[in-house]
Structure 1
């Protein structure tokens, strides 16, 4: 006869895991872990991209500084003031599109000026024909070479955040700094033009009225200048009295980061014409 196991007297049967803790669903834990890993990878990728972009920007500015320093060696600026002396032969050996040189005493502005077949050529291309974050300072392609021939000559330059190119033109929207700039040199192979600022105004990139180079009459030219003067942010206190006899202006344009605008325009006159105006 088969024997049956029976618990000893006063001994309870052994329960089958009455207090076992149920395991969490493996599927939920797996999905959560996958999402966490994906987010971690995305975060690492974004950090790498940000680091690369920062490094690329620093390198671009470094390369721009190098070409600026190289080209600056082709002009000698007198310590006691006066027009820069430019090595035109040396500059033309690098790039025959050079038409002039602009220099503003007591600022970093000391650059050759180029003129391309359009206004895109030197936006991000340097004098050596390769990419440059600041390109080169350039004259409007519709102006007559070498500049200061038309009633209005327009020269453009980038506003770089490290202070290079035409950043200090944009800074002249502060009256104190504007007043500190009393001389701007524009030099060509055949002439030296000593100018001074008249007024500065803001506008947009869509404002086509800025790019007018010659006018049917002197009255139309002066009306144009007076219209822009109404938008002035900074100006000479006597500018309205100086405008009537001004025959030529050098207009310097750069970008700004001011909401609703985007362009800063500085209008300069030849000192000898301004002097004639003030004496009349």
Structure 2
């Protein structure tokens, strides 16, 4: 009787396992490499805005506090980028210039200095009036994994967090505008909450009635057709869905030394 050895088969299986193991190691190293590159992009993107804060604002040492010591050097900002239309501050970490250009795509991947920046910019909708006088002004920001830009806005999905942090602030060369948050919602992009062109008070009232139905929750903050609101928009992890925070203008301080606080 002839005995057939399976030694060759075992060696083949062992070789295959070694090749597979090496392949897994290479794949892991590639993933680590790209993760490192991504992290470097985050660091570089954040560094640009850190430098802007250092050179163009007088930011308090405790940046988490919206104190009266905060000031903006508008001449410096306009020299760096004439697209500047404001500066936004909001708990827990929003503290950025706001720009506006002729489309809503350029600043998705361009920083304040107009070079590539993974963070993009905080920017006003291209069709809004740059003086913030529209009934609804839309401001966009990326939902960054590291919490930069509008990445921490998700905290406002909790009503209790909004109750503790009810305001956001927009600074312009004319002074500071305080917006009181009156609702939040998750909606699809380019739907009714993104409406800008409202010719009459009836149009605005219809808009207010619609967003009330769409909101995740409402705060006890009155909004009328005589008011001006700002809609802060950021993406979610679900395709076209966007998370919106809406605030109504409740105070204006017309001076150059502007600040504020909860």
TM-score, structure 1 as length reference: 0.78
- The yes-or-no answer on 1:216 pairing with 2:199 is yes
Distance in 1 separating the partners of 2:112 and 2:239: 32
Structure with more of its chain in strand, by fraction: 2
Q: CA deviation at 1:29?
A: 4.7
What corresponds to 1:160 in structure 2?
144
Q: 1:236 to 1:75 in 2, by over 3 A?
A: same
Structure 1: gaps (5+ residues): 1-17, 274-280
- The yes-or-no answer on 1:57 pairing with 2:38 is yes
- The yes-or-no answer on 1:48 pairing with 2:29 is yes
Structure 2: gaps (5+ residues): 253-262
What corresponds to 2:174 in structure 1?
190
Q: Any conservation in 2 of the 1:174–1:234 contact (CA below 8 Å)?
A: no
Larger Rg: 1
Instruction: Extract structure 1 runs of 4+ deviating beyond 3 A.
Output: 20-26, 28-31, 77-84
Distance in 2 separating the partners of 1:221 and 1:265: 18
**SS at the partner of 1:145?**
coil
Q: CA deviation at 1:253?
A: 0.5
User: Residue by residue, what CA displacement relative to the aligned partner does 1:86-113 show, whole Å, maximum 9, x if unpaired?
Assistant: 1112112222211111112x42111100
Q: Any conservation in 2 of the 1:200–1:264 contact (CA below 8 Å)?
A: yes
Q: 1:80 to 1:25 in 2, by over 3 A?
A: closer
Q: 1:30 to 1:182 in 2, by over 3 A?
A: closer
**SS at the partner of 2:216?**
strand
Distance in 2 separating the partners of 1:80 and 1:136: 21
- The yes-or-no answer on 1:37 pairing with 2:18 is yes
Q: CA deviation at 1:21?
A: 7.3
Q: Which one of the candidate residues 141, 144, 157 is aligned to 2:126?
A: 141
Distance in 1 separating the partners of 2:119 and 2:94: 13
